[in-house]
Amino acid sequence: MTFTQEDARADLVAAPGSEWWRTAVIYQIYPRSFADASGDGLGDLPGVTAHLDDLKDLGVDAIWLSPFQRSPQKDAGYDVADYRDVDPIFGSLGDFDAMLAAAHERGIRVIVDLVPNHSSDQHVWFQEALKAAPGSPERARYIFRDGTGENGELPPNTWESVFGGGMWKRVTEADGTPGQWYLHIFDESQPDFDWTNDEVRAEFRDVLRFWLDRGVDGFRVDVAHGLIKAEGLPDFTPDPDGGSMGGDAEEVPYWGQPGVHDVWREWHEVLAAYDGDRALCAEAWLPTVEQTALWVRPDEMHQAFNFHYLETEWDATALRDVITESLRAYGEVGAPSTWVLSNHDVVRHASRLALTAENPQGAGIGPNSPGKPDPVKGLSRARAATSLMLALPGSSYLYQGEELGLPEVIDLPDDARQDPTWFRTNGERYGRDGCRVPIPWTADAPAYGFNDTGASWLPQPAEWADLARDAQVDDPSSTLTLYRSLLAERRVRDLGAGELEWLDGFGDDVVAFRNGSLLVIANLGDDAVELPAGEVLLASGPLDGDRLPTDTTVWIAAA
Ligand code: GLC
């Protein structure tokens, strides 16, 4: 008998209220850096398929793939030229279907990235817009405006690109004269769509159906807070010390505008017409948890990344507060909270948690950055932080390589860097390449088993031999073993569906809670703390007799 995608889906369908995405652990694959079957130095979809058994063994419920659609790769695939095709560097639609079927056979769900805020400037619509006249329907799919100044030589407003520089680029009209300007929140190769245009909205509903028909379980929606811009495009200058994606200032005319909720309601309907609990997850950097929770009301998205959790410093009071607030705010709208510590846009948490200087999101760290992290402290904190996170009720996201304890790569040579941020700020901000280096599978192989040719689009550090998967898999004290144990225990105890109850009496520097049959104690203070009685199931680092050392988390079976 052949195993079809329908069979897989039938096995996976859940009762209302217990949909898979409420409790899932979702592993982010950054395809260009995961595994490279073709050997050209860039990862690909057959590489993903080849390692699905490793992900099954790790114990994740789902994977999210960063963009693999057709793209000139000006922003590592977040500049899409054709939303309905696979870029040849990653393989073909056939490779995608094979990967999806192989994942479903293993009970692993698949979420794909969708980039609706902007396309690539190579997208056929943008090329048509460039050729068409001001005021034409072709231009109306994007945000074209006349310039200011005497001859339109100044941009329409003061907005600044997330990647540095201005947010507008002037075009040359078909007759060769300097013309209108178009808006790009990100690189100039990423023009923003006009989401008040019905044609744009219809097109994206159709793109959703294209991937849903192929069998995907949902979408991670890129820059979901950017689609709608404030009426009249009023001037705004961002705080230079803030994170580049927003989330700091209260009112930003291109982030989190209320009109975006109608889009999610339309998309919710599209997904609801399909069987199998398909889900939408918002990438939305908003000022408060409270505001983010509005994005996951019952008729909108299903999940939103909890960047407030990700951005919380390594401080027990701050962590207790953000966890309490998240469970409350998301709970009030009937959505799960999500939890996340790393992704392809932030400094890996094995480094970030030990930084000793301010480091706004998107800035990255490099050879000349202040406050570089102590790697040993960083890894202890990362192991403790993940052990805390995976005990929380709700759904968690992991980023490829964190299960190996990978740090941020700080010493990348300047000429290897590829993040547009690096170029657009003339090297003032290092950007995000340091968390995107191809991951090590085999200590003793070319490119650490990323492929078998040794090619790698970013150079891998020599120290990564010790962190390769095969060097960790049989080591009981390795980070990989810790992750596998955490995920197995989480599953057995159904922690994702549990409830959190705070435990008092451990002091201000300790985060302690109960989730069902589990006690979780994380010590963020300088002094070791006395452990309560009970069987220690797991510890993120060595214990000191019956005391819990600094930067360590323990899971104890409740009496
Ligand atoms: C999102 C992506 C990031 C990308 C940006 C523009 O924030 O996660 O990698 O550069 O959107 O698409």
Nearest Cα to 404, choosing from 446, 448, 360, 364?
A: 448
* Ligand 1 site, residue 186, Cβ cutoff 6 A: yes
Point out the ligand 1 atom lying closest to the alpha carbon of residue 163: 10
**Residue 183: pLDDT band by 50, 70, 90 thresholds?**
very high
Residue 282, strand partner residues: 221, 304
Contact 214, 97 (CB under 8 A): yes
**Whose Cα sits closest to atom 12 in ligand 1?**
78
**pLDDT at site 7:** 47
CA distances from 498 to 78, 163, 219, 248, 430 (A): 36, 40, 25, 31, 40
> What is the amino acid identity at position 298?
P
| Among 29, 75, 79, 254, residue to substitute to test ligand 1 (most atoms within 8 Å of Cβ) | 75
**Phi and psi, residue 324, nearest 5°:** -60, -50
Ligand 1 binding pocket includes 227 (Cβ within 6 Å): no
pLDDT at 1: 36
pLDDT of residue 473: 98
Q: Which atom of ligand 1 is nearest to the CA of 66?
A: 8
For 8-47, how does the pLDDT look when each residue is reduced to its tens digit (9 = 90+)? Answer: 444 444 556 789 999 999 999 999 999 999 999 999 999 9
User: pLDDT confidence of 249, banded at 50, 70, 90?
Assistant: low
What's the gap in Å between 185 CA and the centre of ligand 1? Answer: 10
pLDDT at 129: 98
- Ligand 1 mean position, distance from CA 532 (Å): 44
403 lines ligand 1 (CB under 6 A): no
Question: 529, 507 in Cβ contact below 8 A?
Answer: yes
Q: pLDDT of 330-340, one tens digit each?
A: 999 999 999 99
Ligand 1 atom 2 nearest Cα: 222
Q: What percent of the chain has pLDDT over 90?
A: 93
Q: Is the pLDDT of residue 376 over 60?
A: yes
| Ligand 1 atom nearest to 185, measured from its CA | 6
Q: Ligand 1 centroid vs 75 CA: distance in angstroms?
A: 8
pLDDT tens track for 52-73:
999 999 999 999 999 999 999 9
Task: Tell me, in angstroms, the distance from the centre of ligand 1 to residue 276's CA.
Answer: 28
Tokens representing 365?
Answer: 């760290």
Among 33, 345, 347, 423, say which to mutate for ligand 1: greatest number of ligand atoms within 8 Å of CB.
345
Packed helices 93-105 and 5-12: angle between N→C axes, nearest 10 degrees: 40
Distance between Cα 345 and ligand 1 center (Å): 7
Ligand 1 in reach of 192 Cβ (< 6 A): no
What whole-number distance in Å separates Cα of residue 34 and Cα of residue 26?
A: 15
Residue 447: partners with Cβ closer than 8 Å, 6 or more residues away: 36, 41, 438, 453, 454, 455, 456, 460
Q: Residue 50, Cβ neighbours under 10 Å: how many?
A: 17
- CA 77/CA 88 separation, integer angstroms: 12
Interval between CA 417 and ligand 1 midpoint (Å): 16
* pLDDT reading at 6 higher than 60: no
Q: What is the pLDDT of residues 204-228, one digit of tens each?
A: 999 999 999 999 999 999 999 999 9
Query: Is residue 187 within 6 Å of ligand 1 at its C-beta?
Result: no
Q: What is the pLDDT of residues 107-119, one digit of tens each?
A: 999 999 999 999 9
Residue 198 is encoded by which pair of tokens? Answer: 């019905």
> For position 248, what pLDDT does the model report?
73
The rounded distance, in Å, linking the Cα atoms of 174 and 166 is: 24
Q: How far, CA to CA in Å, does 507 sit from each of 275, 291, 317, 539?
A: 48, 31, 10, 19
Helix (H) or strand (E) holding 156: none
* pLDDT tens track for 146-182: 999 999 999 999 999 999 999 999 999 999 999 999 9
Q: Which domains does the chain have, with CATH numbers?
A: 5-117+198-483 (3.20.20.80), 124-183 (3.90.400.10), 500-557 (2.60.40.1180)
Q: Which of 86, 99, 83, 91 is nearest to 49 (CA)?
A: 99
* Cα-to-centroid distance, 160 and ligand 1 (Å): 16
Distance of CA 161 from the midpoint of ligand 1 (Å): 12
Task: Pick the atom of ligand 1 nearest to 345's CA.
Answer: 9
Q: Report d(CA 266, CA 256) in Å as an integer.
A: 17
Q: What is the mean pLDDT of residues 420-430?
A: 95
* Structural contact between residues 112 and 96, judged by C-beta atoms closer than 8 angstroms: no
> 222 in ligand 1 pocket by Cβ < 6 Å?
yes
Amino acid code (one letter) for 231? E
115: Cβ below 6 Å to ligand 1?
A: yes
The verdict on the CB of residue 551 being under 6 Å from ligand 1 is: no
Q: Is the CB of 282 under 6 A from ligand 1?
A: no
| Main-chain phi, psi angles of 85, to 5 degrees | -145, 160
Please tell me the distance from the alpha carbon of residue 298 to that of residue 265, in angstroms, as a whole number.
9
Main-chain phi, psi angles of 419, to 5 degrees: -65, 130
Interval 250-261: pLDDT, tens: 689 999 999 999
CA of 18 from ligand 1 middle (Å) equals: 30
The mean pLDDT value of the chain amounts to 95
Scanning 255-294, the segments in alpha helix (DSSP H) are 260-272, 289-293
The predicted pLDDT at position 559 comes to: 77
Is the predicted pLDDT of residue 323 greater than 80, yes or no?
A: yes
Q: At CA 217, angle to CA 211 and CA 219, rounded to 5?
A: 65
